[in-house]
Amino acid sequence: MTTIYDDTHEMFRESFRAFIASEMAPYYDQWERDGIMDREVYAKAGKHGFIGMAIPESHGGGGTDDFRFNCVIAEELAAANMGGGGLGLTLHNDVTTPYLVEYCTDEQADRWLPGVAAGEIITAIAMTEPGTGSDLAGIRTTAVRDGDEWIVNGAKTFITNGINSDLVIVVCRTDPDAGRHGFSLLMVERGMEGFERGRNLDKIGQHSADTAELFFTDVRVPAANVLGEEGKGFEYLGFNLAQERLSIAAYGWAAAKSALDWTVDYVKERTAFGQPISAFQNTKFVLAEIATEVRVTRSFLYDCVLKHNQGELTPAEAAMIKLWATELQGRTIDRCLQLHGGYGFTTEYPIGRAHADARVTRIYGGTSEIMKTIISKDVLA
């Protein structure tokens, strides 16, 4: 079987699998009930090198931009059915950290990166607003310059790590007359006066991923906390979109594969009308179709991962794999749940939680409809 992993990645996999078994699995059900993962998990993951891989060694990170390590994490979290808590870790690794590595000044890097790599500073990114989803140009959160500070006012919602986060990349409108060139990224830190957390949103899935409302009322943010250059926020947001979508796709594919594995085991054991469910032609055909789609998708996904490592993954390709892998995740898990019968609608088997966790992956990181729009522009160019 063709693989993109070498011995180093497989050693990393074994270590992370053991970490899940000892530090996450025993507590995961409680985190799901609580609606939030214990923040100490980030510190423990940092101690073992499972976060901050892309942060330079000089600042306590792994010093590698090899995205295959990130994919290993996604695959193992999916195998353990940890779509909620896993989302917090992958967002910290795959989505927010790259902005810091790319755009921090030397002073900012010294101030934040060691804590981020150690899991002592948990990160989030705040783009979405109550009245603004995929249309980032409609962002209304403002930042007004006042001497050596920016005064931030506005609200954000659906922010993953919103409760646990210590450092939030906040997308603000800093020049109302400059259109897309009027946005900047400001780093808002826990404890700043006027920065408040709202509800930890009650979701239908991914419960242990704290997803919150954030409110900013005359929050004074030092000018030294502007990430990158003023007015380039919109440009910066496009910098990491390909990796964000690849990250979601990697988990989506791995979740589909895991659902297939669980279902194969289930249909061999479960009987109906005096024989295993696996003996029925419908079961065989459904599993044959799923196995084929999972296998084909793996080839496309791994091709995208290698292209991304080489800096060659295009926005259209990232949109394609995100669209395909998350749609695959949804339909695969739904079909696998059907083969579980009534048990699939319970929490007794992992397929039920996986079904609830899967629905949002076709929404966050850009909806399937947005992905189709991006792809069509490339096709018609």
The residue among 122, 143, 170 that closes a domain is 122
State the helix-helix crossing angle for 281-309 and 241-269, rounded to 10 degrees: 150
Asked if 119 and 43 touch (Cβ cutoff 8 Å), the reply is yes
Q: Is 32 a residue of the active site?
A: no
Residue 235 lies in a domain: no
**Secondary structure of the chain: what % helix, strand, coil (to 5)?**
55, 15, 25
Q: Is 142 helix (H, G, I), strand (E, B) or coil?
A: strand
Residues 21 and 130 grouped into a single domain: no
Residue 34 lies in a domain: yes
For position 86, what pLDDT does the model report?
87
What is the CATH number for 47?
1.10.540.10
CATH of the domain at 358: 1.20.140.10
Q: What pLDDT is attached to residue 99?
A: 97
pLDDT of amino acid 134? 63
**Partners of 123 in the β-ladder:** 167
User: What pLDDT sits at residue 133?
Assistant: 66
Tell whether 193 and 322 lie within a shared domain: no
Q: How deeply is 203 buried, as exposed, middle or buried, from its count of CB atoms within 10 A (0-12, 13-18, 19+)?
A: middle
Catalytically annotated residue among 196, 244, 293, 317: 244
Q: Which domain holds residue 23?
A: 7-122
In a shared domain, residues 374 and 261: yes
Residues 163 and 206 in one domain: yes
Is 222 found in the same domain as 282? no
Q: Which residue has the tokens 């957390």?
A: 197
pLDDT score recorded for residue 180: 86
Considering the domain boundaries, does residue 2 fall inside one? Answer: no
In angstroms, the CA 354 to CA 337 distance is 9
Which stretches of the chain score pLDDT less than 70?
1, 133-135
On whether both 287 and 223 belong to a single domain, the answer is no
